[in-house]
Amino acid sequence: MSDVKLKLKLKIWRQPGSDAVGKLVDYDVEVSPDDSFLEMLDQINESLEKNNQEPIVFESDCREGICGACGLVINGQPHGPVPRITTCQLHMRHFKNGDTIYVEPFRAKAFPVLKDLLVDRTPLDKILQVGGFVSINTGGVPDANEIPIAKDVAAQSFDAAACIGCGACVASCKNASAMLFVSAKVSQYALLPQGQPERQRRVEAMVKAMDEQGFGSCTNTYACEAECPKGISISNIARLNRDFFSAKLKSKNVS
Amino acid sequence: MSWLLESLNSSIGKKILMAVTGISLILFLVGHLSGNMALFANDGGKSFNAYAEFLHHLPGLMVIEIILASVFLLHILNALRLWVENKKARPVKYAVNASSKNSTIFSRTMVQTGSIILIFLIVHLKNFWYEYVILKSNDNLFEIVVETFKDPVYSGLYILAMILLGFHLNHGFQSAFQTFGWNHKKYTPFINFLGAIYSIAMAVGFASMPIYFLFFYGGN
Ligand code: HEM
Ligand code: SF4
Ligand code: FES
């Protein structure tokens, strides 16, 4: 435990409501290097509340990198400068005394700011609703491991399923494209036998839903993969592209 | 057919159009550069003019030209459409832009390098195709080439444009494979390597023409 405190200048986006004009507001803080980024924001909020000021609104839930609630853009990078972690896993020891840190909400037309750093990410849920599932018959509980699945295939599916739906891929992409998220959700089922019956319908429906939500188109800059806290691979996007045109060519859906 | 139009209008469909036209242009450049190598024959332009004559009298030339022009137009119009749409997908910009930390400069400047190639293309068509094929101002294409490249400003800008073409191709080559869904642990590193070699070859190959006529070509 180090007791040398870091003096930092924070520039945090404050916006009273979705239609209000927002701006960056300066906060000078002293924090322990052992504090997490969100603990620092908690401390700022405590002192704001003490002074009868509005606390900064930001999202968090699990605070251990599994729920995907806590996306902040820190110095231009979603989830901050350290690869493969979420904002809640970021510790202040990665910053230097005297640093200026910009904290901004995810920016995308599909993710409107509701207040301060809180954005509306329901467009991701809308995409999940049209295909993020497999249909299974009711009845007796099937035996586990009844269907043989190669170890490496299961592992790839599992890697895709590691996506926590945080939206950092959208936030990092210069086109605010949701391709990495959608590709992970499509891939996790496309790789498994259980996902086959609905494979074509799923990819057609999810891409359609994605396009309807106002995300941009992928231009293969691969910024998403670099910023994704779960290391979701862009090879999933290649699979999504493949599945999409094979579905478009083969499916009987002509509308 | 509505399903086809709808598919091509989807975000992935537009990418596929970009990749199909991009790869076609990549192949076109190989042919174009190979033919132009006749410029270096050092025979006062005999081989080059013979090659130009041959192309000029190729049966079905018109059809080939129309296909090539359409591929260019589709690539350019679709690129501009994607650019406008993608800008709209992020109406409020970040105060801090950290894109250099997560992506290459080649990938982020496709519209800029593409637009410069477009300007180059217009000037290029005016100088060679328009003068030779339409105006028929000189039936010796080799002479037109020599005259044009004599201008150091023109040649300098030509070389610059070719370097930026190399930038465009370096991202475009591997990007098209990714768009087609061809991403594989075994082959993708090779594709990236091949793309880099290809873009350097094209930039150096096309730039070698103004360099040759500016510095090494002494008249006849
Ligand atoms: C000989 C000329 C050209 C060649 C060989 C070429 C090649 C390519 C290739 C292979 C791609 C990648 C496609 C993909 O991502 O799947 C591409 C993308 C692109 N090209 Fe070109 N291009 C040429 C000219 C132009 C011109 C004149 C423009 C004018 C605006 C342009 C603008 C773009 C843009 C903006 C992209 C990125 C689009 C995206 O990723 O969605 N290109 N090009
Ligand atoms: S793909 Fe990665 S960055 Fe995108 S939502 Fe999933 S976990 Fe977050
Ligand atoms: S709060 Fe759950 S991932 Fe950060």
Class of domain B2-216: mainly alpha
Predicted pLDDT at B220 = 45
Domain A122-251, architecture per CATH: Orthogonal Bundle (1.10)
Enter the pTM of the model.
0.95
Percent of chain B with pLDDT over 90: 92
Predicted pLDDT at A141 = 84
Structure tokens at A50: 């003490």
Q: Which of A11, A152, A174 to mutate to test the interface with B (most CBs of B within 10 A)?
A: A174
What are A51-89's pLDDT values in tens digits?
999 999 999 999 999 999 999 999 999 999 999 999 999
Closest CA to A175 of B171, B99, B165: B99
Distance B146 CA to ligand 2 centre (A): 55
Q: Tell me the shortest Cα–Cα distance from B71 to chain A, in angstroms.
A: 19
Average confidence (pLDDT) over B72-77: 98
Predicted pLDDT at A2 = 58
| HEC per residue, A210-251 | HHHCCCCCCCCCCHHHHHCCCCCCCHHHHHHHHHHHHHHHHC
CA distance A105 to A115: 9
Q: Do B11 and A211 touch (CB under 8 A)?
A: yes
CB A210 within 8 A of CB A127: yes
Average confidence (pLDDT) over B209-219: 88
Q: Tell me the shortest Cα–Cα distance from A182 to chain B, in angstroms.
A: 12
Closest CA to B165 of B211, B216, B205, B122: B205
Average confidence (pLDDT) over B115-137: 94
Q: Which fold has domain A6-115?
A: Ubiquitin-like (UB roll) (3.10.20)
What are A123-168's pLDDT values in tens digits?
999 999 999 999 988 888 888 888 999 999 999 999 999 999 999 9
Structure tokens at B186: 């075994």
Domain range summary for chain A, segments of one domain joined by +: 6-115, 122-251
Instruction: Please provide the average confidence, as pLDDT, over all residues in chain B.
Output: 95
A253 in contact with B, Cβ within 8 Å? yes
Confidence label for A253 from pLDDT (cuts 50, 70 and 90):
confident
Predicted pLDDT at B74 = 98
What are A177-193's pLDDT values in tens digits?
999 999 999 999 999 99
Measured CA angle at A215 (ends A61, A76), to 5 deg: 60
